[in-house]
Each structure stands twice: as C-alpha cells, then as structure tokens.
Amino acid sequence: MTTIAVLPGDGIGPEIAAPAVQVLGELLGSQVEFTEFVFGGASIDAHGTALTDETLAGCRAADAVLLAAVGGPKWDTTDPNAPRPEQGLLGIRKELGLFANIRPVRPIPALYSASALKPEIIEGTNLVVVRELTGGIYFGEKTRTATSASDLCSYTTDEVDRIARVAFELAGRRSGKLASVDKANVLETSRQWRQVVHEVAADYPAVELEDVLVDNCAMQLISRPSSFDVIVTENLFGDILSDEAAMLTGSIGMLPSASLGTPGTPGLFEPVHGSAPDIAGQGIANPLAMFLSAAMLLRDGLGRPVEAAALESAVDAALADGLRTADLGGSATTAEAVTDVLGRLH
Ligand code: NAD
C-alpha cells in the first residue's frame, strides 16, 4: 500500500489539497492511502508549534508528502519568540534531508498571452531549475556589529556532488543538456562547484554539460529561455533564478515544485505559490499548480510516470479548451476547475 501524507496548511491550502487528494485517488484507486496532518499556522493554533512530532513522524513514514501552503496575517508577528508557520517548512525540509529543489517551468501554449514576454520568445520553453536547498550562504555563519555584517557562503564537495548527480540524472531522462550555473570568475565556492560538477560529469557521458555564469544565465532566461533544459545551481543563485524563470509562465497559480532527499526518503511536493490569504474561503483558488505538484509526486515520488502524464495532459487540455480561474483572467471557480480536470482523466 502506498501512503501519501497530506499537509493542507493554511489559507487556500485546504481548498486545493482536497481536490488534489481526489485526483490522486482517481488515478491510483485503492492502492493508495492518504493521511492528513495539521501543519503551519493551523498547527500553531492547535499545538503551539508549526511542525509537531506527530506530523513529522507521519511524513517520515509516508512514501511521499503533498503540501499545499502555509502562512497568513493571523500569524505575522515581529515577536522573535513567537512561532511562525514558515518554521514548519524549514523544519520539514531539514528533518527529511531535502537538499534538492526541483522547479519545472513549462509555459502552456494556451497561456502564452499571460506572460510578460513575447510569445515568440517563450515558445518551446521547457526547463527545470535544480536548486541546492540546504547549503550555501543561507546556512553559513552570520555576524553583525554596529558597522559591519557578514554571511558565510560555504559548500562541501559532497554537497555539490549529490546535487550535481540529481541534475545529471534528470538531464539524462530529458533532452540530455545541463547548464551548471556559478560565479567561478569571482567566487572560490563557485570554482570548487565547477570542478566537482565536471568530475561528476565523467559518470554521465551522454549528458552535454555547459558552464554558465549566473549573470549571463539571468539574461539568457529572459532573452532565449527555450535554449535551456536542466539548470543546476547553488542555493542563493537558485532562489533568484527559479523565481525569474517562474515569471515566464505568467501566473504563479500554475507552478509546481518538488524537494527531494536521498533515495528512500519521502519527497515533498508543493505548489510554488503561498496560502493566498486575500482569496481564501471564496472558492476561487486556482487548483492547477497543486494538480501539477501531484503529477510531480506521481512521477518523482512514486515512480508512476503514466499517471503523471495523464494528469498533466488533463490540465493542458482543460486550459486549451478555455478553463480560466480568476488569476488567469477568467471566472471559473475552484470547483468548476476540479470538475473539468477530473472529467478528462480517462
Ligand atoms: P501568495 O503566493 O500566497 O499570493 C500572491 C498572489 O497570488 C495573491 O494575490 C494570491 O491571491 C495569488 N495566488 C497565489 N496562489 C494562487 C492560486 N492558487 N490561485 C489564485 N491566486 C493565487 O504570496 P504572498 O501573498 O506573498 O504570501 C501569502 C502568505 O503565504 C504569506 O503568509 C507567506 O508567508 C506565505 N507563503 C507560503 C509559501 C509556502 O507555503 N510554500 C510560499 C510563499 C508564501
């Protein structure tokens, strides 16, 4: 029996988590069991902490974790000692050892007009950003005096090796092109990153590796995004480049993501967007990023590529036939979007 831990979280989270469970249930039938756990702000309200031991244990025991979104004004605070919903996110990534963040960017032809770029530039774009998630400057030592501050950026060769392998494996399953993004003309961490990536490349002779400086990559993502396939980069560069790449699609309500650890540990699958407190409770949230996250869970978390492709095709077809929720300029409700996609699964 396959088990999926479901973390609905806050805001629109429960409104999009329930339909995703429905869709996964439809695709996997009785072979799957869902267990729901309280997480984020909802967990703070119930237990005083964003991530309880019970939720963590439930996620560890599952084959994959499906998360909607956390946070909201109710838990915004300037009190450094008060619990915050985002602590749940950081906690679960750390506890599950999720070091690889995978964000596919595949603008859907029916939505080209929603992008800030011209259709002829985004046409044919189908890329994935693989971001190292647990090392680098975000986790290095921090210092602060009245007149200076510093953040240490450090990586071990093992950390670079394992993220590089995730990216090479992925590139090997796709078109076989990998861009490794660094700032090797300036940074020592980048020079070592580049060296390790080239050592790993020897194990993947079928993958074509290209080194790209981060500033150049930022420009090329806007000028010719369709030239990229898989992009692998360190934590800070990946944070910025994945948000830049996300804008190619024109709507945040469309983007899925996966965070993966070592084989054998459950991956975490979630939409890129937040809990959208401004529209929570109105029944108008776009469930498609959540559905596409469920598709990533099927492919990368459970090894079910056929069901993943069926779900992605259903989303594409619904959009091609005109499905538009409010964030896409239309008037379809969440329930109407769910019915539309569910009806196309077979
Ligand atoms: P957000 O992504 O929640 O919302 C940004 C805008 O996009 C809003 O106008 C919202 O209505 C819209 N939007 C987002 N998802 C949508 C969807 N599925 N359908 C329709 N419209 C959608 O970002 P924000 O407003 O900056 O943050 C709101 C809360 O979410 C904050 O508490 C923030 O900390 C949290 N957050 C959580 C995560 C996460 O759980 N991984 C990520 C980002 C932000």
* 92, 130: one domain: no
Rounded CA separation 144/149 (Å): 4
* 268, 341: one domain: yes
CATH number (domain holding residue 305): 3.40.718.10
CB distance 256 to ligand 1 below 6 Å: no
Residue 283: both structure tokens together? 């029944």
Confirm whether 300 is domain-assigned. yes
- What pLDDT digit, counting tens, does each position of 248-263 carry? 887 777 899 999 998 8
Rounded CA separation 103/238 (Å): 10
Work out the average pLDDT over 121-138.
Answer: 94
Rounded CA separation 65/58 (Å): 9
Say what the pLDDT of residue 90 is: 87
* 59, 7: one domain: yes
User: Is 118 among the residues known to form the active site?
Assistant: no
User: Is 155 among the residues known to form the active site?
Assistant: no
Say what the pLDDT of residue 243 is: 87
More confident residue, 112 or 98: 98
Confirm whether 106 is domain-assigned. no
Catalytic residue, chosen from 183, 300, 327, 340, is 183
Total structural domains in the chain?
A: 2
* 56, 125: one domain: no
Which of 249, 281, 301 delimits the end of a domain? 249
Catalytic residue, chosen from 45, 158, 203, 215, is 215
Say what the pLDDT of residue 80 is: 79
CB distance 321 to ligand 1 below 6 Å: no
User: Is 183 among the residues known to form the active site?
Assistant: yes
* 183, 141: one domain: yes
Which of 249, 281, 316 delimits the end of a domain? 249
Asked if the model's pLDDT at residue 346 lies above 80, the reply is no
Catalytic residue, chosen from 10, 182, 229, 239, is 239
* 209, 136: one domain: yes
Residue 84 φ/ψ, nearest 5 degrees: -125, 145
Rounded CA separation 342/327 (Å): 20
CB distance 327 to ligand 1 below 6 Å: yes
Asked if the model's pLDDT at residue 329 lies above 90, the reply is no
- What pLDDT digit, counting tens, does each position of 53-62 carry? 999 999 999 9
> Which atom of ligand 1 has the smallest separation from the CA of 40?
40
Residue of minimum CA distance from atom 4 in ligand 1: 276
CB distance 92 to ligand 1 below 6 Å: no
Say what the pLDDT of residue 14 is: 98
User: Which percentage of the chain shows pLDDT scores above 70?
Assistant: 100
Look up tokens 């629109």; give the residue: 12
* 262, 245: one domain: no
User: Which percentage of the chain shows pLDDT scores above 90?
Assistant: 88
> Which atom of ligand 1 has the smallest separation from the CA of 279?
11
Rounded CA separation 346/342 (Å): 8
* 155, 243: one domain: yes
* 237, 283: one domain: no
- What pLDDT digit, counting tens, does each position of 133-166 carry? 999 998 899 999 999 999 999 999 999 999 999 9
DSSP tag of 178: E
Cα of 274 from ligand 1 centre, angstroms: 3
CB distance 330 to ligand 1 below 6 Å: no
CB 269 within 8 A of CB 294: yes
Confirm whether 104 is domain-assigned. no
Cα of 245 from ligand 1 centre, angstroms: 17
Residue 210 φ/ψ, nearest 5 degrees: -130, 135
Domain that residue 34 falls in: 1-98+255-346
Which of 249, 284, 314 delimits the end of a domain? 249
Q: Ligand 1 test: best mutation among 249, 257, 273, most atoms within 8 Å of CB? A: 273
* 135, 65: one domain: no
- What pLDDT digit, counting tens, does each position of 30-87 carry? 999 999 999 999 999 999 999 999 999 999 999 999 999 999 999 998 887 899 999 9
> Which residue type sits at 100?
A
Say what the pLDDT of residue 113 is: 80
Say what the pLDDT of residue 108 is: 85
Say what the pLDDT of residue 200 is: 98
Contacts of 116 (CB under 8 A, 6+ apart): 247, 250
CB distance 279 to ligand 1 below 6 Å: yes
Confirm whether 111 is domain-assigned. no
Work out the average pLDDT over 86-93.
Answer: 92
User: Is 215 among the residues known to form the active site?
Assistant: yes
Say what the pLDDT of residue 251 is: 76
Confirm whether 107 is domain-assigned. no
Cα of 275 from ligand 1 centre, angstroms: 5
Say what the pLDDT of residue 252 is: 79
- What pLDDT digit, counting tens, does each position of 190-231 carry? 999 999 999 999 999 999 999 999 999 999 999 999 999 999
| CB neighbour class for 288 (10 Å; exposed up to 12, middle 13-18, buried from 19) | buried
Confirm whether 103 is domain-assigned. no
Say what the pLDDT of residue 246 is: 85
Confirm whether 109 is domain-assigned. no
Strand partners, 213: 182
CB distance 252 to ligand 1 below 6 Å: yes
> Which residue type sits at 66?
L
* 243, 145: one domain: yes
CB 325 within 8 A of CB 340: no
* 156, 208: one domain: yes
Q: Would you call 48 helix, strand, or coil by DSSP?
A: coil
Q: What is the mean pLDDT of the chain?
A: 95
Asked if the model's pLDDT at residue 342 lies above 80, the reply is yes
CB distance 301 to ligand 1 below 6 Å: no
Rounded CA separation 128/124 (Å): 13
Say what the pLDDT of residue 42 is: 98
Say what the pLDDT of residue 101 is: 96
Say what the pLDDT of residue 116 is: 84
Say what the pLDDT of residue 110 is: 82
Say what the pLDDT of residue 111 is: 84
